[in-house]
Amino acid sequence: MLIVMALLVGALGAAAFYLLLARSSLKLLFGLLLLGHSANLLILTSGGLVRARPPIVPRGALEPPAGHADPIPQALILTAIVISFAVLAFAAVLVKREYDLTDTDDTEDMRQTWL
Amino acid sequence: MLWMILIPLVAAPAAPWLVRRLGRHVGPLLALVPIGVGLALAIHLPMEPGTWRLEVLPWVPELGIHLAFRLDGLSITFGLLISGIGALVLTYAGGYMGDDPRLGRLCGLLLMFLAAMLGVVFSDDLFVLFVFWELTSIASWLLIGFKHEQAEARDSARMALLVTGAGGLALLAGLVLLTAAAAGSGIPLDRATRISALAGVGLSGHPLFTPSLVLIVVGAFSKSAQMPLHFWLPRAMTAPTPVSAYLHSATMVKAGVYLLARLNPVLGDSGLWHVLLTLTGAATMLVAAVMAAGQSDLKRILAYTTVSVLGTLTMLIGVGTDLAIKAAVVYLVAHACYKAALFMIAGSIEHATGTRDVRRLGGLGRAMPVTAASGLLAALSMAGAPPLFGFIGKELLLKAKLDLEYLGVVLALTAGLANVFLIAMALVVAVRPFLASRTVAAPDAHEAPPAMLAGPLVLAAAGLFVGLVPGVFDAALGSAMASAIGGRTIIMKLKLWHGLDPAALTALLISAVTLALGFAVFLRFRAGLSRLAGRFARLGRHGPARAYERLYGGLMDLAAAVTRATQNGSLRRYTRLVLLALVATCVYPLSRAVPLESVGPVEWGWHEAAVAILALVGAVTAVLSRSRLSAIAMVGITGILIAVLFALFSAPDLAITQIMVEALTVILLVLIFHRLPAFSHLRTTAARLGDAATAAAAGAVMSLMVLVAVAAPLPATVSAQMARLSVPQAKGRNVVNVILVDFRALDTLGETTVVAVAGLGVYALVKLSRRARGEGGKP
């Protein structure tokens, strides 16, 4: 299963990089989004894959059951999901604004900082 | 001794303020600082040969580096020259700069340089010496580039900094190797960096000794403008004249000579030392003297003669016999006095006439009698005419050469030939502008103000005084200085007239011949000048300066090419470069680090694999889609499927968050982009294939990272601790939530701030768009 997850991370990453290399600023956004997914899965997998044993303490117990999933990568990913959403929202508005001002979504037309 | 360095250093930043408050006459007041240092040094006179005083303060004791300062004949002589000429130069600067508002900056920098230079000559620790050494380079750079609005001054300053700075690096490497050699020879670390402890130990057997010697010599040569590193010094003449008089004739350029003299007892037992110094010094002495004759600018003539004299001193230290060391001592002191005087006189002439071109100067003697008199004295000392101090120096120099077993006659003739040119140039610089019958440049030339007369007059008079009563100098300092250079007791008995022994008579004969020849060259100077100058200008185009220009220009071109190639404003290129760098640096080490057994520990699951494949299909469809809306939908599907994977692998919180965020993302993207056009083909097929290959390689790096990371799991102690403490301490059953809102609550606060700031940014941009559209809508 690890190999599948590794391939998924790599394939999502490759798709993200391909979009980041595109000239359309819209596609950059999708690239950012997919890259976030890829990175989150990387963290989750490298923390160790565990099935059906979430880090939750059952009622009456003091500790989660033995062999539970590592909570730290999950906490990291949770933060990452929220932050990448904030960044994506900002980037999306920025791209829109840029399109309104320049009438193009081609990044090769944006080599100068003046209009 | 530390305070002698600290007081000028503290006075330096105060100088601009003082000048602003008190005006141009503050020069003599500031001169009190070096005068005080000089008096404090004079207390130690007369210096007993072979003795010294040490003062040690710990600085970096772990590395054996201490603020160790040493007073002996060599450092006191240098200290007196630095402080004495420094006082005269500060006084002179007040007159030279007049009411120029930059006088304060000049005085401040001169004081800073003075402190650094005192540090160089007092230091007994190799690395403390190096620190001050570099400080003098920086002060010199600032002073050469003083008129920084002129491109020429900036270029010259940069050249001096690069040449002496590169030499400084060589010196540092040499000093480190020398310390290593000393430590390897059984000297404790505490003493391995101390010059006084290394003297006479005999390290030449150590394998690191030769490389360290070569590097140290290169460093000293760059500072003292020895061939082929001499070219920066004539260029440095773009500095204001007080700077040239101080740094580039009397003091800083002698730091290299000082270092060679100081380390002579440490490095002098090697044959290579003598060969390197003698040959380089002799070549520099002769070539620079001839090149001086090709110049027409007063200061550049003086600069080349300075290079020649520095070569002479290097050669004498290399020869290293008692006589040679005595000659070096006398020659060094005499040169410092007359050369500083001559530079100041050149400055006064320029001040009075507005030109430094000897071809346009003449007949100034009537207008500037005092300057003319001091010029004559200084020039006679430089020419080595009796009864001036320079004469004694030259006699000793010739005797030291004739005394040698090998090459003695050759070296003596070389020195004699160089001397012919020095004599001619001395007359050209300091006599011709005053004596020649007609004035070309300025009919209204006037005598320099008193502040500008004091320096040349005092220095020229000193040359005459010491020449007449040389016994004062050798008893007070000369013997002690010679002993410090030689590392053995050398007693000097200087005389103007050496009696009738054959060596002295031969030297006197050569001396008389050179004087006559020099005078002859001077008389032919006017006729030969332009032809010679043209020839040397052509020669100069192929010298080491040319190599420097090529190297520097090449570096600039390379930098421009690299910038053009990497910083061309194309986002695609930046991304591609980053990705390719990632691939180039990571693939090999990662693929070596993947342990094959890490591939199998988690069981196969068909449904999970199916979800993964579907997520991938979504992503690929999004990449290939031509429609924006379907691309947004496909990206959303991928996100939801990843949420499913989170749920399957024991991360319910992540799954919930991911589903909510994904839904929000899709709504946001649709809202923002529903009015934008469809994707168009912007890239050629070849570019697409290239990008696909780059992306695939970078994706492969990420796959490898997963496999490597799995094999090296996080240490479980922190996780276990948090899982154990979650209920008892934080009263929470969901450990992930507890970590976020309790254990790492501050991180979450930061995260919330980021989200809030991003939200503000979104709000501002949306509002900006609306307003722009509203205004644009109005007719």
Q: What is the ipTM of this complex?
A: 0.94
User: Nearest Cα to B751, choosing from A73, A19, A78, A94?
Assistant: A78
Among residues 581-600 of chain B, which lie with CB inside 8 Å of chain A? 598-600
Taking 80 as the threshold, does the pLDDT of residue B595 lie above it?
no
CB of B626 less than 8 A from some CB of A:
no
Among residues 243-282 of chain B, which lie with CB inside 8 Å of chain A? none
In a domain, A59, yes or no: no
CB of B769 less than 8 A from some CB of A:
yes
Mutate to test the interface with B, among A50, A53, A56 (most CBs of B within 10 A): A56
CB-nearest to A1 from B608, B727, B748 is: B608
- How much is the pLDDT for B520? 79
Taking the CA of residue A115 and the nearest CA in chain B, the distance in Å comes to: 14
Taking 80 as the threshold, does the pLDDT of residue B603 lie above it?
no
What integer is the mean pLDDT of B535-560?
79
For residues B546 and B540, give the distance between their C-alpha atoms in angstroms, rounded to a whole number.
8
Cβ(B71)–Cβ(B122) below 8 Å: yes
Number of domains in chain A: 1
Cβ–Cβ below 8 Å for B706 and A9: yes
What integer is the mean pLDDT of B282-304?
83
CB-nearest to B696 from A14, A74, A81 is: A14
- Residues in B touching A53 (Cβ below 8 Å): 650
Taking the CA of residue A48 and the nearest CA in chain B, the distance in Å comes to: 7
b (16+ CB within 10 A) / e for B86-106 = bbbbbbbbbbbbeeeeebbbb
User: For the segment B644-672, what is each residue's pLDDT rounded down to a tens digit?
Assistant: 999 999 899 999 999 999 999 999 888 88
CB of B155 less than 8 A from some CB of A:
no
For residues B142 and B351, give the distance between their C-alpha atoms in angstroms, rounded to a whole number.
22
B606, burial (CB in 10 Å: exposed 0-12, middle 13-18, buried 19+)? exposed
For the range B714-718, what are the long-range contacts, defined as Cβ-Cβ under 8 Å and sequence gap of 24 or more?
B714/A47, B714/A70, B714/A72, B714/A73, B716/A70, B718/A72
- How much is the pLDDT for B536? 65
Among residues 683-742 of chain B, which lie with CB inside 8 Å of chain A? 683, 691-692, 694-696, 698-707, 709-710, 713-714, 716, 718-719, 722-724, 726-728, 733-736, 739-740
For residues B8 and B468, give the distance between their C-alpha atoms in angstroms, rounded to a whole number.
33
CA separation, residue B260 to residues A90, B121, B309, B672 (Å): 65, 12, 15, 75
HSE value, Cβ hemisphere, 13 Å, CA-based, for B143 = 30
Average of per-residue pLDDT values in chain B? 83
User: For the segment B353-403, what is each residue's pLDDT rounded down to a tens digit?
Assistant: 877 777 777 777 777 878 888 888 888 888 777 777 777 877 777 777 777
- Residues in B touching A72 (Cβ below 8 Å): 714, 718-719, 722, 739
- How much is the pLDDT for B300? 85
User: For the segment A48-97, what is each residue's pLDDT rounded down to a tens digit?
Assistant: 888 888 888 888 888 888 888 889 899 999 999 999 999 999 999 888 88
Cβ(B208)–Cβ(B184) below 8 Å: yes
Q: Under 8 Å CB-to-CB from B268, ≥6 apart: which residues?
A: B274, B320, B487
CB-nearest to B755 from A22, A27, A82 is: A82
Taking 70 as the threshold, does the pLDDT of residue B500 lie above it?
no
User: Nearest Cα to B335, choosing from B283, B265, B273, B397?
Assistant: B397
What is the interface size between A and B, counted as CB pairs within 8 Å?
294
Cβ–Cβ below 8 Å for A93 and B706: no
CB of A11 less than 8 A from some CB of B:
yes
User: Nearest Cα to B212, choosing from B165, B276, B118, B291?
Assistant: B276
| Confidence band of B582 (pLDDT split at 50, 70, 90) | very high
Mutate to test the interface with B, among A45, A53, A63, A74 (most CBs of B within 10 A): A74
CB-nearest to A64 from B735, B765, B768 is: B735
What integer is the mean pLDDT of B240-269?
84
- Residues in B touching A73 (Cβ below 8 Å): 714
- How much is the pLDDT for A67? 83
- How much is the pLDDT for B655? 94
Cβ(B24)–Cβ(B103) below 8 Å: yes
Helix, strand, or coil here: B778? coil
Helix, strand, or coil here: B469? coil
User: For the segment B399-443, what is each residue's pLDDT rounded down to a tens digit?
Assistant: 777 777 667 778 878 888 888 888 888 888 777 777 765 555 556
Among residues 641-680 of chain B, which lie with CB inside 8 Å of chain A? 642, 645-646, 648-654, 657-658, 661, 664-665, 668-669, 672-673, 676-677, 679-680
- How much is the pLDDT for B777? 38
For residues B172 and B126, give the distance between their C-alpha atoms in angstroms, rounded to a whole number.
9
Instruction: Name which of B15-24, B175-184, B740-749 the model is least confident about.
Output: B15-24
In a domain, A46, yes or no: yes
CB-nearest to B768 from A18, A46, A97 is: A97
Q: Which residue of B has its CA nearest to A80?
A: B751
Each domain of chain B, given as residue ranges in start order, spans: 270-523
Helix, strand, or coil here: B68? strand
Cβ–Cβ below 8 Å for A85 and B665: yes
For residues B452 and B467, give the distance between their C-alpha atoms in angstroms, rounded to a whole number.
24
- Could you list the residue range(s) of the whole structural domain that residue A21 is in? 2-51+69-110
B29, burial (CB in 10 Å: exposed 0-12, middle 13-18, buried 19+)? middle
- How much is the pLDDT for B607? 87
| Confidence band of B778 (pLDDT split at 50, 70, 90) | very low
- How much is the pLDDT for B752? 92
Who wins on pLDDT, B440 or B62? B62
What integer is the mean pLDDT of B323-341?
85
If you write DSSP's letter for every residue of B2-21 in order, what string do you get?
Answer: HHHHHHHHHHHHHHHHHHHH
User: For the segment B680-725, what is each residue's pLDDT rounded down to a tens digit?
Assistant: 666 788 888 889 999 999 999 999 998 888 877 667 788 888 888 8
- Residues in B touching A46 (Cβ below 8 Å): 705-706, 709-710, 713
For residues A20 and A12, give the distance between their C-alpha atoms in angstroms, rounded to a whole number.
12
Cβ(B104)–Cβ(B17) below 8 Å: yes
Instruction: Report the CATH number at residue A39.
Output: 1.10.287
Residue A111: how many CB atoms within 10 A of its CB?
11
Taking 50 as the threshold, does the pLDDT of residue B779 lie above it?
no
Provide the token pair at B444. 């209204």
User: Nearest Cα to B167, choosing from B239, B243, B246, B230?
Assistant: B230
Cβ–Cβ below 8 Å for A42 and B683: no
- Percent above pLDDT 90 for chain B: 14
In a domain, A87, yes or no: yes
Among residues 38-97 of chain A, which lie with CB inside 8 Å of chain B? 38, 40-42, 44-59, 61-64, 68-75, 77-79, 81-83, 85-90, 92-94, 96-97
